[in-house]
C-alpha cells in the first residue's frame, strides 16, 4: 500500500487577531510517519484540529484518496479513518477502558449492550498494540502512557488510516517512549500514516520518515529526515540560525538560603538532605519516576511528609504546607501546569501578576499601568505569541500557555524558586530566553532548583547537580563531574 492517502489544499484559519493557518497545503502517504514541527504558536495543533473536524477551516479543501471530503466533526473524521491523540487526552476517567474505546458505539439500533463482546473486541485491539490489560479497568487508574495506548486502540477500532499525535512524548518515561515508537513502527507496517508533533527534535530522527516545518501559520518546507540536520530544522523553525544553546553563566554563589535535613515524603523510600545557596542553580537529574517531583512536593508541603525539616535562611519551617513555604519565600513552578499553574479563563496579564500582587500595588489601588508593564515585559522577553496582553490564556497555543506559567513564577519576590521541567513543551528558540531569565534571577541573588529530564539543560545550566534514584539522592556533582556520563551512570 502506498500513494497519497490524505491531502490538504490551501487551508486557512483565523481567530480574532491571529491568522493561525495561512493557505497550508500538504499531503501524506499511506504508511508514512511525518513529523510536524514549529515554534510555539506556529499552527500545528490548529492544523490537526482542522484535519480531525474540531475546527472548520475558513477556506481550503481536504482530500482522502483523491476525493474531496467534508469533515464536520471528530466522529465523522474517525469514520473516515482519521483519529487524533491529544496531549490532554480525551478519555473519560470514570469509565472502563472498553467503554472508552467504544464510547458512542456501545449498542446498535437500540439493542441491549453486549458487554462480553465489547470487552472481547476491546481486548483484541489492546492486544494488537501489545497492551496487556483488563478492559474492565477504569481509565482513571492508568498512567499517561496507558491512556495513550487506549486512545491508539480506539483509533484502531475505527480502522484508522491516519493517526494524529500531538506531543505524545511530552510526559512519557524512556521506556514508555520506546514502546510508543514500537507501536508507531507497527502502524507504519500496516500502512497506517502518522503525523507526529514534538518539540524534541531528536525523536524525529529516530521515528519519522519525513518532516514538515511550520512557521507563523505557513508551511516552510517538507523534507525526508535523511536530507536534513537538526540545525537546519531549527533554522527553518525560527527563521534564523541559533548557534549557542545556552547563555553564558557567571554565577556568583553566596550564602546558604535553604537547607533540607532528612526529609522523607509519606510513603517514600529514602530521606534526602541537601542545601542551596543564593546565586546558585541546583540541577536535579534522574530518570522519570526517580522521585524528583515528589521530593520537591514534600519540600513545598504539597504532599504529606513522614519526617525531616526544612530551613530557610537558617529558620526552620514550623509546618509543612505550601502556605508556610510560600511565606518563607519559596516559589514552586509545578510540572502539572494546566492543573496547578494557570487560571485558564483569565487574561495573560492577570495570570502573570497573580503570584505577586505586591509588585503592582499603587498607593490606593492596583496599578493598571504597572500590571501592563510587567505583562509586556515578559511577553517580549520570552516571546509569548499573542495579539494582546488581555488575551485569555485558554486561547493560547500549548507552549505559549506554558510560557505564561513560567512568567508568573519568574515574577515573584521569592528568594528560592523551584522549577519542575521549566521548558517542557517550549520550542527550541524560546528555551534560550528562559535560560537567560533563570541566569538573570540568580545574578540578582535568587536561588533556583531546576528539575529537568533534558540532560543538555541540566549540563548547560547547573552549578551543582543532584542525581536522584528511587527517592534517594545518589550523587552530588560539581565542576568537571557535571557531565552526561557521570549523571547517567548514577541515574541508572
Ligand X SMILES: Nc1ncnc2c1ncn2[C@@H]1O[C@H](COP(=O)(O)OP(=O)(O)OP(=O)(O)O)[C@@H](O)[C@H]1O
Q: Which is nearer to ligand X, 15 or 115 (CB)?
A: 15
Q: Tell me: does residue 46 bind Mg ion (CB under 5 A).
A: no
Residue 304 touches which member of Mg ion, ligand X, none, C-beta under 5-8 Å by kind: none
Q: Which distant-in-sequence residues (6+ apart) come within 8 Å of 397 by Cβ?
A: 40, 41, 42, 45, 385
Q: Is 43 in the site for ligand X (CB under 6 A)?
A: yes
Contact 82, 6 (CB under 8 A): yes
Residues 50-109 binding ligand X (CB under 6 A) are: none
Give me the residue label for grid cell 493557505: 23
- The answer to whether 92 touches 106, Cβ cutoff 8 Å, is no
Q: Per CB under 6 A, which of residues 177..236 are in contact with ligand X?
A: none
Q: How many residues does the chain have?
A: 492
Shortest approach of ligand X to residue 88 CB, angstroms?
11
Count the site residues for Mg ion by CB under 5 A: 3
Interacting residues with Mg ion between 389 and 418 (CB under 5 A) = 397-398
> What does 447 bind: ligand X, Mg ion, none (CB cut-off 5 to 8 Å by kind)?
none
Distances (CA, A) of 95 to 99, 138, 146, 168: 6, 5, 14, 22
Looking at residue 225, the DSSP 8-state letter turns out to be: G
407 binds, among Mg ion, ligand X, none (CB under 5 to 8 A by kind): none
Alpha carbon distance 240, 457 (integer Å): 21
Name the residue nearer to ligand X (CB basis): 41 or 283.
Answer: 41
Which value, in Å, is the radius of gyration of the alpha carbons in the chain? 24
Binding track over 381-420 against ligand X, x by CB under 6 A: ----x---------xxxxxx--------------------
Beta bridge partners of 224: 210
Find the binding residues for ligand X in span 8-37 (CB under 6 A).
15, 18, 20
Query: Binding partner of residue 87 among ligand X, Mg ion, none, CB under 5 to 8 Å per kind?
Result: none
283 contacts ligand X (rule: CB under 6 A): no
Question: Residues 331 to 390: which contact ligand X by CB under 6 A?
Answer: 385
Number of residues counted as binding ligand X (CB under 6 A): 18
- Answer for which of 42, 45, 330, 466 binds Mg ion (CB under 5 A) is 45
Pairing of strands 4-15, 162-166: unpaired
Q: Among ligand X, Mg ion, none, what binds residue 452 when CB lies within 5 to 8 Å by partner kind?
A: none
User: If contact means CB under 5 to 8 A according to the sort of partner, which of ligand X, Mg ion, none does residue 395 touch?
Assistant: ligand X
Q: Which residues, 6+ apart, have CB-to-CB distance to 279 below 8 Å?
A: 251, 252, 253, 254, 442, 443, 445, 446, 447
- Which of 40, 52, 100, 351 touches ligand X by CB under 6 A? 40
Contact 346/393 with Cβ under 8 angstroms?
yes
Q: Please report how close the Cβ of residue 40 comes to ligand X at its closest, in angstroms.
A: 3
d(CA 327, CA 113): 55
How many other CB atoms are there within 10 angstroms of residue 66's CB atom?
A: 9
Among ligand X, Mg ion, none, partner that 40 touches (CB below 5 to 8 angstroms by kind): ligand X
Q: How far is the CB of 12 from ligand X (least distance, A)?
A: 12
HEC secondary structure over 17-80 = CEEEEEEEEEEEECCCEEEEEECCCCCHHHHHHHHCCCCCCCEEEEEECCEEECCCCHHHHHHC
In the complex, the residues that contact Mg ion under the rule CB under 5 A are 45, 397-398
In the complex, the residues that contact ligand X under the rule CB under 6 A are 15, 18, 20, 38, 40-46, 385, 395-400
Amino acid at each position: 500500500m502506498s500513494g497519497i492517502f490524505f491531502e490538504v489544499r490551501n487551508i486557512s484559519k483565523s481567530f480574532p487577531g491571529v491568522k493561525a493557518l495561512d493557505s497550508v497545503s500538504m499531503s501524506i502517504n499511506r504508511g508514512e510517519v511525518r513529523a510536524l514541527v514549529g515554534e510555539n504558536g506556529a499552527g500545528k495543533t490548529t492544523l490537526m484540529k482542522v484535519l480531525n473536524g474540531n475546527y472548520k477551516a475558513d477556506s481550503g479543501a481536504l482530500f482522502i484518496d483523491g476525493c474531496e471530503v467534508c469533515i464536520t466533526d471528530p466522529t465523522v473524521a474517525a469514520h473516515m479513518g482519521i483519529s487524533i491523540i491529544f496531549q490532554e487526552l480525551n478519555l473519560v476517567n470514570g469509565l472502563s477502558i472498553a467503554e472508552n474505546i467504544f464510547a458512542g458505539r456501545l449498542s446498535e439500533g437500540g439493542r441491549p449492550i453486549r458487554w462480553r463482546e465489547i470487552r472481547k473486541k476491546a481486548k483484541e485491539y489492546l492486544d494488537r498494540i501489545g497492551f496487556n490489560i483488563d478492559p474492565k479497568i477504569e481509565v482513571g487508574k492508568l498512567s499517561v502512557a496507558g491512556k495513550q495506548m487506549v486512545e491508539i486502540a480506539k483509533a484502531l477500532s475505527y480502522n484508522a488510516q491516519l493517526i494524529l499525535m500531538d506531543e505524545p512524548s511530552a510526559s512519557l518515561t524512556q521506556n514508555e517512549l520506546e514502546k510508543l515508537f514500537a507501536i508507531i513502527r507497527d502502524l507504519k507496517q500496516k500502512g497506517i500514516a502518522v503525523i507526529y508533533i514534538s518539540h524534541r527534535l531528536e525523536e524525529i530522527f529516530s521515528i519519522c520518515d519525513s518532516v514538515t516545518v511550520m512557521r507563523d501559520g505557513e508551511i516552510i518546507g517538507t523534507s525526508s529526515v535523511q536530507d536534513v540536520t537538526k540545525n537546519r530544522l531549527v533554522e527553518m523553525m525560527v527563521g534564523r540560525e541559533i548557534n549557542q544553546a545556552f547563555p553564558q553563566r557567571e554565577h556568583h554563589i553566596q550564602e546558604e538560603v535553604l537547607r533540607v535535613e532528612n526529609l522523607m515524603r509519606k510513603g517514600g523510600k529514602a530521606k534526602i538532605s541537601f542545601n542551596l545557596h543564593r546565586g546558585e542553580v541546583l540541577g536535579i537529574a534522574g530518570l522519570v519516576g526517580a522521585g524528583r517531583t515528589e521530593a520537591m512536593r514534600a519540600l513545598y508541603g504539597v504532599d504529606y511528609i513522614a519526617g525531616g525539616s526544612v530551613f530557610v535562611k537558617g529558620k526552620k519551617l514550623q509546618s509543612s504546607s505550601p502556605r508556610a513555604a510560600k511565606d518563607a519565600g519559596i516559589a514552586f513552578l509545578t510540572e502539572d501546569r494546566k492543573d496547578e499553574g494557570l487560571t485558564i479563563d483569565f487574561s495573560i496579564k492577570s495570570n502573570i501578576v497573580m503570584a505577586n500582587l505586591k509588585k503592582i500595588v499603587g498607593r490606593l489601588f492596583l496599578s493598571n499601568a504597572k500590571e501592563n508593564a510587567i505583562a509586556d515585559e515578559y511577553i517580549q522577553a520570552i516571546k509569548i505569541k499573542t495579539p494582546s496582553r488581555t488575551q485569555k490564556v485558554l486561547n493560547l497555543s500549548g507552549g505559549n500557555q506554558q510560557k505564561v506559567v513560567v512568567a508568573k513564577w519568574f515574577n515573584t519576590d521569592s528568594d528560592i524558586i523551584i522549577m519542575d521541567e521549566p521548558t517542557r513543551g517550549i520550542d527550541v528558540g524560546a528555551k534560550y530566553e528562559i535560560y537567560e531569565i533563570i541566569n538573570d534571577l540568580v545574578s540578582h541573588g535568587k536561588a533556583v532548583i531546576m528539575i529537568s529530564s533534558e540532560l543538555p539543560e541540566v549540563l548547560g545550566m547547573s552549578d551543582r547537580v543532584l542525581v536522584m534514584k528511587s527517592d534517594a539522592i545518589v550523587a552530588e556533582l560539581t565542576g568537571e563531574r557535571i557531565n552526561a556520563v557521570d549523571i547517567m551512570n548514577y541515574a541508572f
